[in-house]
Amino acid sequence: MFDKFVKLYNGVKMPILGFGTDYLSGDMAYEAVISAIKAGYRAIDTAAIYKNENDIGRAIKKCIDDGIVKREELFIITKSHWFFPGYEETLNSFEQSLKKLGLDYIDLFLLHHPFCEWPSWRKDIAYSWRAMEELYNNKKTRAIGISNFRWPYFDVVFNSGKILPMVHQVELHPQYKNKEAVEPCLERNIKIMAWSPLNKGKVLEDKTVKSLALKYSKTPAQIALRWNIQSGNALVVKSCNIDRINSNYQIWNFELSDEDMKKLNSIKPCYNGIRLDEAVLVGDLSKSRYFSILENYINRTYSKNFKLFGVIPFFKIIRKNANEVVYYLFNIPICKAKIKYYNQAIWSENG
């Protein structure tokens, strides 16, 4: 019988296999999370920028109220807002997530992104991580971590902070080993958690994965997920299909041989990758090779509101797409502006 939990370096037990929720929203997110919990998943992964924390909170409450699971049996993961770097901004992002999820505490809170496209990224990481440490020390979250980091962004967290991350969540699957992000963490006893463990379905078409699926009488997805677990990683896998949600959880009754693990380790790279080393730090972010991933989040709407005497709304700024900001006076549009890069520390998310 395989252990379904891993112990983080601070002693907290975390489920190895979690359920991911990016791009799930509304009733789809609600139903998917309920189905996942019924299937056996106990770790649920979300983020402020996914804009589904309210829906996931409803699903969690439903499962607890119906006696399917107890709160202490769940391991809820969320992340600071991608566009809110800074000390106060990170604290505020946490409180908003906590409220939307309807919880008293978070099990794992991650710094979602190293802000590498911001000119002030070193300061932003340092101040954001200071807030993460404060949340952990105040026992508002049981563990803290990072997501999508590598050098030189690691350097700020590792050397300016007093507490090392407990978890690092990165893209990781048989077609992308992501050594630059993984190895510095393993050296420091930081647990790796894989996102996109199926490479958005691409890994399911790999001939090695498909042949091993036939050999073990498993699905290609189960082979790929098992590879991550036997590589020593935790992971989150997403689906809105009930059959696949159940199937993806059924990976505990078999083990890949050492020889077959070597075959999977030798698969040719093919990744969606957030290549932070190739990001444009200053200037037009669209020149970055990972803009196609970032734009899915950037194209969501963010706003900042101003009030007279803290009561009467009179001025509003809305960023409606990746490179346009509209200014409103008493809800009348008065000006449009183009932006070159996304220094968005001032924005708050609609909804």
Known catalytic residues are: 50
Amino acid at 150: R
The beta strands (E) that lie in 164-301 are given as: 167-171, 191-195, 234-237
Q: To 5 degrees, how large is the angle CA 337–CA 340–CA 344? A: 85
The rounded distance, in Å, linking the Cα atoms of 128 and 109 is 12
3-class state of residue 198 by DSSP: coil
Q: Distances in Å between the alpha carbon of 90 and those of 51, 125, 132?
A: 16, 10, 7
Q: Distances in Å between the alpha carbon of 31 and those of 56, 97, 287?
A: 9, 20, 38
Closest CA to 236 of 193, 185, 181: 193
Q: Distances in Å between the alpha carbon of 321 and those of 84, 253, 302, 324?
A: 17, 47, 9, 6
Phi, psi of 163 (to 5 degrees): -125, 130
Contacts of 32 (CB under 8 A, 6+ apart): 19, 21, 24, 59, 239, 240, 245
Task: Provide the CA 233 distance to its chain's centre, in angstroms.
Answer: 15
Phi, psi of 5 (to 5 degrees): -130, 155
CA dihedral over 37, 41, 43, 49, signed as positive or negative: negative
